[in-house]
Amino acid sequence: MIKTVDLKKTFVGRGQTVHAVDGVTAHIKEGEVVVIIGPSGSGKSTYLRCLNGLETLTSGHIHVDGVDLADRKTDLNKVRREVGMVFQQFNLFPHKTVLENLVLAQTVVRKRSQAEAEIKGRELLKKVGIPEKEKEYPIRLSGGQQQRVAIARALAMDPKVMLFDEPTSALDPEMVGEVLEVMKQLAREGMTMVVVTHEMGFAREVADRVLFMDFGKLVEEGTPEHFFNEPKEERAKLFLRQVL
Amino acid sequence: MNTELKNWLWRSLTLLILFSMGAGLWVATKKIDYTWRWNRVPQYFVYHNEDIKTVPFDGRVTTIDKIGETSKITILSENDELQSFIVDVGTERVVVDEDLFAGDSIGSTFSWRVGPLLHGLWVTLWLSAASSVIGLIIGLVTGLCRVSNNITLRQLSVFYIEIIRGTPLLVQIFIFYFFLGTVLDISRIVAGISALAIFAGAYVAEIIRAGIQSIPKGQMEAARSLGMNVPQAMVYIILPQAFKRTLPPLAGQFISLIKDSSLVSVIAITDLTKSGREVITSTFATFEIWFIVALLYLLLTSVLSQVIAWVERRLAVSD
């Protein structure tokens, strides 16, 4: 589904060069749930943002469903509608109601009719458990509800892959559960997911595979059982000792 | 002391200060021996115009019939042709069988006409409205160029903004009228409106740019990650939010524009200011007319700020 080959992303600024992503080669198969773990500044968010072209890559290749993002002829907008993204800060559109948030891209990008898009939007709101909030503006929702709307908004485009960039990091602790529950349900339905998170419980329970990144490099990868119980790399062991 | 009473005391103090300032002005004008003639002012808003009717030929009055509020005077000419004239009742200056010579007045009609002040107000209103709309369009386009990734667009917009903001509007109006007006053969009205619109556009562009840049980056990223292209994201996501935030400074800009439009009177456009000057030359009521002109500008600007405040309240539903 997604294949990255020797992916590099370098930020240059103020005379400094930062190798945020430094040669990551990974393959995410269809229906797989991949969780990316690593200390902050390890480049995991940057890697994720490269996968739907929010960051332009410095070198290497990303193939999303067979399309190479590094190819200049690739229409990124076409790729992005197949790749849903959920952000740490939700990024709901504050001037639109919850339902409008879900409907807008469907009508503008997918060219669905208003009625069709509204049916789809209501269906998804029911799925994430807040059908009664469709007429509210995002500001009136709690963080957990906002993030669930954001997930529904991404799902409304019928994406083939969902990317989650620390979806629970900006939430109050009591709201983390409701968002993770929605994500677990998605995983059970067979959605291909790439999740950057600090929720070790979620990784252990839901992930098919765990990628551990540090200093822009892919340090260790394997099943959750392998990663949490018998990591090979010293850096991974150290990280696990600190977070668990 | 309870706060309610306290507030009233402060309000009374405000009134007292305003009142004593007014009284001071009144005493000051008394000292310079100026005769206020407010009664001369209303006729320059609307006036009752008398249109005197004259006979174009020699002849004799045959009949005078009253029809409602008007009189129909029928006159037989020397060539035996009958012709009728309509005048207002009570203004007839002829009687039946009277002999008339060409050019004699027989009566008059009255009608209400728009005076120079009202006409000037209208010119100022549509002049500012036209240049606001054009200025908003110019500003929007320039503001978008200003935040674009294209270096040429960015540099051109900065060039335009710096030139316009760095030179006085009065000088720009002169250049538009005397230089561009001659070179491109445009009328004074077109020159005036373009000068005002291009002047406002530069300020609007900076306001729009600030508005766009104040929207969190995540909004653009969310829109792009849903598959929208940049123009779609701008139209549906960024600009509506930016518009809401820029309303207060935009309102200030357009209020300024209404006031700045008084400068076009220097290229002989008969706006409110020039009308005021013209009225003063015929009445010598200098003080009264300038106060009235100021009040009329205040009327226009306060209506505009009320309208904008109403739009702001409407847009506040998502806050």
- Residues in chain A closer than 8 A to B236 (CB atoms): 104, 108
pLDDT for residue B282: 87
pLDDT digits (tens, 9 = 90+) for B258-315: 999 999 999 989 999 999 999 999 888 888 899 999 999 999 999 999 999 999 898 8
Write out pLDDT tens, residues B68-77. Answer: 888 888 888 8
Tokens read off for B151: 């270096």
Phi, psi of A158 (to 5 degrees): 50, 55
pLDDT digits (tens, 9 = 90+) for A203-241: 998 999 999 999 999 999 999 999 998 888 888 899 998
Torsion angle of C-alpha atoms A96, A97, A102, A108, degrees rounded to 10: -40
Percentage of chain B exceeding pLDDT 90: 61
At A141 the pLDDT is: 93
- Residue A35 pLDDT > 90, yes or no? yes
A106-120, A137-151, B47-61, B121-135 — which is least confidently predicted?
A: B47-61
- The nearest CA of chain A is from the CA of B11 a distance in Å of 38
Q: Residue B80: its pLDDT value, please?
A: 83
Kindly state the DSSP code that residue B69 receives in the 8-state scheme.
Answer: T
Contact criterion met (CB < 8 Å) for B241 and A91: no
CB-based burial label for B44 (10 Å; 0-12, 13-18, 19+): buried
**Two structure tokens written together for A89:** 């800060």
Residue A124 carries which side chain, given as an amino acid letter?
L
Q: Which pLDDT score is estimated for B1?
A: 66
Element (H, E) at A4: strand A2-13
| Both tokens assigned to B95 | 């009687």
Per-residue pLDDT at B95: 83
Residue A136: closest C-alpha in chain B: B318
Identity of the residue in A81, A91, A95 whose CB atom sits nearest the CB atom of B241: A95
Does the CA dihedral B184-B185-B190-B195 come out positive or negative? positive
| Residue A15 pLDDT > 70 | yes
Cβ atoms of B290 and B120 within 8 Å: the answer is no
B214 pLDDT exceeds 90?
A: yes
Task: Average the pLDDT over each of A107-111, B86-90, B138-142 and give the range with the smallest value.
Answer: B86-90
Provide the residue count of chain A: 244
- Percent above pLDDT 90 for chain A: 64
Over residues B76-90, mean pLDDT: 84
ipTM of the complex: 0.91
Question: Among all residues of chain A, which has the CA nearest to that of B223?
Answer: A105
Domains defined along chain B, listed by start: 49-112 (2.40.50.100), 116-265+275-310 (1.10.3720.10)
The pairing of strands A161-165 and A192-196 is parallel
Task: Identify whether the C-beta of residue B208 lies closer than 8 Å to the C-beta of residue B139.
Answer: yes
Amino acid making up residue B230 = V
CA angle A33, A46, A215 (to 5 degrees): 95
DSSP string, A42-75: SSHHHHHHHHTTSS--SEEEEEETTEETTSTTS-
For chain A, give the mean pLDDT.
Answer: 91
Determine the Cα–Cα distance for residues A90 and B222; give it in Å rounded to an integer: 9
